Amino acid sequence: MPYVPPTRSRLARTLYGALAYVSLGIGIVAIFIPGLPTTEFVLLSAWAATRSSPRLARWLANHKLFGPMIENWHDGKRIARKAKVSATVSMLLCAIIMWLTLRHYWPIYAAIAGMVLVNLWLWSRPEPPTE
């Protein structure tokens, strides 16, 4: 992971630290809730941690689950196929549930359109080499 010196302002470090921990918390919750993107929140947490807490940044980089995600992103903005498939299936399930259970107002269409755009972007990212 590239070294980024922590931000000098105490307020900025505090805000980045709060963002890092909140994003990490959402990322952990997202592991268990379909539709919430785990990878994006972990990457946001890692980014904020490099600006606020070198200790948290090291912990994330060396973590068994989160470390490979962060390493792949730093090494060419790569996303593993397993993460792509998992995200796609989760979004598809959420879209189907919304379609079947909610009234068809514009927010439903906007949410589904957003999921389609995220999936297009997600599948455009390169994958790490297989071992």
CB 27 within 8 A of CB 34: no
Percent of the chain residues topping a pLDDT of 70: 92
2 found inside a domain = no
The whole domain housing 50 covers: 10-124
131 found inside a domain = no
Question: Which residue type does 3 have?
Answer: Y
- Here the tokens at position 23 are 């994003």
Whether 123 shows a pLDDT value over 60: the answer reads: yes
Percent of the chain residues topping a pLDDT of 90: 54
CA dist., res. 27 & res. 106, Å (int): 28
3-state secondary structure of 126: coil
Whether 96 shows a pLDDT value over 60: the answer reads: yes
Report the domain count for the chain: 1
4 found inside a domain = no
